[in-house]
Amino acid sequence: MVVTREGFTRVVANSFAGLGFPAEAPSVFQFPMRMFAKGDDLTAINRNIDRVVYGLTEWQPQTKTKGTFAPPNVTVTGEDYDEAVASMNLLFLKNMWGDGLPVAPPTEKRVNWILTGADLSRDTVIATVYPHGGIATVEGIAVALAMAGGRPEYLPVLIAAVEAITEPKWGLWATNPTTESVIPAIIVNGPVAAQIRLSSGYGLLGPDPQHPAGVAIGRAVRLIQQNLGGAIPGIGTMALFGGMRATNAVFAEDEEGVPPGWKSLSEERGFPKGANVVTATPVNGMMNMAEHFGTREVNDGTLSMIARFMSIPNGSMWSIQTTLEDWNSPDLARGVVLIPRGVAASLAADSGYSKLDVKTFLWKNAKIPWSELKVMDLAQNFIQRAARLGISEGSDLPLATKPEQITLVVAGGSASGHSYWMPVGHSNRHMVSKRIRLPAPAKWDELLERAEHELYSRVPCADPASCSI
């Protein structure tokens, strides 16, 4: 039995399904959207109290069993290939399996090809995707990647990304259905990024035929969120705005541009240098920041400007549910600052800053003054959190407990002049990192050779028959 607000019945049903409840579980009372707004009354509760009591005391489900099943393959026909593909896309839209863009046919042959990117059996369970609770097997993940136009060498990164966002502390069960425009930012470290041509430079987070991996992997993640997690707008997700949800945000750190003495993101998170790692964090937007770098004085002024962007009030930074343990956790998601290698080089060489120096500068300056909190009528909410988080009333609201919680990544074009701020999405969520598991070296080398031949024709193919287009 569920009590929910108007318009959210299907979201609740989606979550119920993920918990194993039957679809018939009743939503006995939908309270008006504005029932708790100032000036409204609670008479709607009185009118429905009998239904609430019935749902709590007498209702029984008709369905008595539960289990999982693999849906059968779908057959689509047409007078020719083009007509069959068009019919398939219409069918996928009608069944809400697609995303509005054309999808590549996930034929048995193509899915089998994608599966060569992992040394795992196709029925290996990788995760449960909440809130709907769909089971993400290796084959299911490969189907999403095939639909997104991906390739087998992308599969290890996609599997690691799914593992990361389905960790309970990452909170897909909450970020998938929320009204907030939240997307996963998937940051990749290690040689695998360059091997699969995942962008870390110019045009980052946008379309790039030279670096197609990020768009395909991000779109596949989204299809998994939708088709296994139930995140269909207005049904399984109530995000008022979709943001970058078509492709999410998948990119690599520009490790060659990380200044000497600075650690990459994966190293900061405890992995050895050169390890292939995915780090996932929830974000709810992106802001370009134009700046100038050079002298220590100019650099400090520009960092102050970046800190000002970071301190724009964002309700997702703080939650009434945030515990002191979460608040102090090194994994607590606080957003991501992206700086290109030109900016990083100037901070290191011209200012002599370590990476921690930059984080400390931003941490000290990315705060909301108490006076502004009062004007914005946020002070009372902050007071409710203050005692739990060890912050006294009247203090400026910090972005994080300590500088180490700020995520700073070197990425973007090689020049300076612009940086990027990706604010945290949804309250009380944590960053999660996962190792990327590549297939056996011989198989991996073969996949990369074929990709190089098919996409860029820069390396001769050892077996022309297997590499022919």
Tokens found for residue 411? 């990425």
* DSSP-derived secondary structure for 216-256: HHHHHHHHHHHHTT---BTTTB--S--TTTTT-EEEE--GG
Helical residues (DSSP H) of 366-408, grouped into ranges: 370-375, 379-389
pTM assigned to the model: 0.88
Per residue in 69-117, pLDDT tens?
667 888 999 999 999 999 999 999 999 999 999 999 999 999 999 999 9
H-helix or E-strand containing 398?
strand 397-398
User: pLDDT tens digit string along 345-379?
Assistant: 999 999 999 999 999 999 999 988 777 766 655 55
Rounded to an integer, what distance in angstroms lies between the CA atom of residue 72 and that of residue 70? 6
Q: Name the band, by pLDDT with cuts 50, 70 and 90, for residue 395.
A: confident
Residue 148: name the closest of 206, 217, 199 by CA. Answer: 217
468 pLDDT more than 70: no
- CA dist 468 and 363 (Å) reads 53
Report the side by side order of strands in the sheet with 432-435.
249-252, 183-189, 277-283, 432-435
- Reduce the DSSP state of residue 282 to 3 states and report it: strand
Would you call 378 helix, strand, or coil by DSSP? coil
DSSP three-state, residue 286:
coil
- Cα 387 to Cα 395: distance, rounded to the nearest angstrom: 12
